[in-house]
Amino acid sequence: MTAHVHMYNYFGGVATLLVPDNCKTAVIHTKDWYTPKLNATYHEMAEHYGTAIIPARVRKPKDKASVEGAVGNISTWITAALRNEQFFSLEELNTAIREKLEAFNHRTFQKKEGSRWSLFHHEEFPFLSPLPTTPYELADFKQATVQFNYHISLDGMLYSCPYEYIKRKVDVRVTERVLEIFYNHNRIASHKRLYGRKGQYSTTLEHMPPDHQKYLEWNGERFKQWAQRIGPNTHQVIIAILSSSRVEQQTYKSCMGLLKLAERHSESRLEAACEKALNYTASPSYKSIKNILATGIKEISKPETEKPTKNTFGVTRGANYYGGKYNDK
């Protein structure tokens, strides 16, 4: 495909027809010569340039006889001519090939007037279609399944698509710079391609379920302000949770869960539970606060004026109850 792009750029236009061999990079199978199935990338390239592809028939060398002859001439006048020269970079080699190619094209014919260059520019170039605004970018096509987190995984990276497509199989078009996701030939997502460390995410906000979108709107400062309205102890616990991870965003779920406990129990009880937890540790967790509210809720809500009854005896019942020989007088 890249060779075609360079060819069109060199010609300065696009041919109406392409007649390739039946290689796998062009034709997937040719059970019926009239309806050959083309490689997806090759077909897309032809669509980009607006040209038609008509593969040569199998074992029919006359379909491309002139091309085969040109290949032999190129081998003689360029490849063989440079065989004894030494090059130290690909750029040097390409420059030398370009010089030989220009000399070959301007070389006059033996049996007719003109050269390949003059023949092309006077008889063939006027029939070429103009080049598109941008050259074709080589693409690779793959399939993937949308995971439960509304992302697909490709080459160790994760890219989002609308959550409605969870568990669906999608087609993925990958270029050097862009990744596009299609479902039933309709594009549903597009991302800049990720490189580097594996496990990176490219997530579009609109692809997320509504509840996940609201979650992303939160940040550490908002959690602190919400906790401060409940009480100083809750505020201190939120600060501790936010500091418990090297990546603050990983603690947002715990912060949200902790503050939501006020809706289930009450703000006063949550504040009391946080105070009790801070008496034991400077870094309480959401789980510890939740356990205090579930198991010690009566102790937390007990009025401060209520005092336990003091028992002056070592046992609750006297010796007479157990059949002792001493009687109270």
* Judgement on whether residues 112 and 25 belong to the same structural domain of the protein: yes
In angstroms, the CA 1 to CA 30 distance is: 20
Question: Which percentage of the chain shows pLDDT scores above 90?
Answer: 44
Global pTM reads 0.50
Question: Which percentage of the chain shows pLDDT scores above 70?
Answer: 84
What integer best gives the mean pLDDT of the chain?
83
Tokens of 282: 């400077």
258/312: higher pLDDT: 258
| 3-state secondary structure at position 70 | helix
Last residue of a domain, one of 213, 246, 271: 213
Assigned domain for 162 exists = yes
Assigned domain for 87 exists = yes
In the prediction, which pLDDT does 55 show? 83
Assigned domain for 309 exists = no
Assigned domain for 159 exists = yes
* Judgement on whether residues 153 and 253 belong to the same structural domain of the protein: no
Q: Are 237 and 274 in contact (CB under 8 A)?
A: yes
How confident is the model over 113-135, as a mean pLDDT? 91
Assigned domain for 316 exists = no
Assigned domain for 157 exists = yes
In the prediction, which pLDDT does 253 show? 81
| 3-state secondary structure at position 89 | coil
* Judgement on whether residues 13 and 103 belong to the same structural domain of the protein: yes
* Judgement on whether residues 109 and 163 belong to the same structural domain of the protein: no
Write the pLDDT tens digit of every residue in 216-261.
667 888 899 999 999 999 999 999 999 987 767 678 888 989 999 9
Q: Are 52 and 20 in contact (CB under 8 A)?
A: no
In angstroms, the CA 144 to CA 154 distance is: 8
Last residue of a domain, one of 127, 152, 168: 127
* Judgement on whether residues 287 and 225 belong to the same structural domain of the protein: yes
Tokens of 62: 């006359």
* Judgement on whether residues 122 and 154 belong to the same structural domain of the protein: no
In the prediction, which pLDDT does 305 show? 45
* Judgement on whether residues 174 and 78 belong to the same structural domain of the protein: no
In angstroms, the CA 166 to CA 91 distance is: 48
In angstroms, the CA 22 to CA 20 distance is: 7
Question: What CATH code is carried by the domain that includes residue 92?
Answer: 3.30.420.10
Residues spanned by the domain of 75: 2-127
* Judgement on whether residues 8 and 118 belong to the same structural domain of the protein: yes
Nearest to 152 by CA among 121, 115, 127, 189: 189
Q: Are 269 and 301 in contact (CB under 8 A)?
A: yes
Write the pLDDT tens digit of every residue in 293-302.
988 755 444 4
171/76: higher pLDDT: 171
* Judgement on whether residues 196 and 228 belong to the same structural domain of the protein: no
* Judgement on whether residues 190 and 244 belong to the same structural domain of the protein: no
Assigned domain for 315 exists = no
- pLDDT at residue 210 is higher than 70: yes
Assigned domain for 134 exists = no
Number of domains observed in the structure of the chain: 3
In sequence order, what are the beta bridge partners of 159?
152, 202
Tokens of 111: 């049996």
* Judgement on whether residues 8 and 122 belong to the same structural domain of the protein: yes
* Judgement on whether residues 198 and 236 belong to the same structural domain of the protein: no
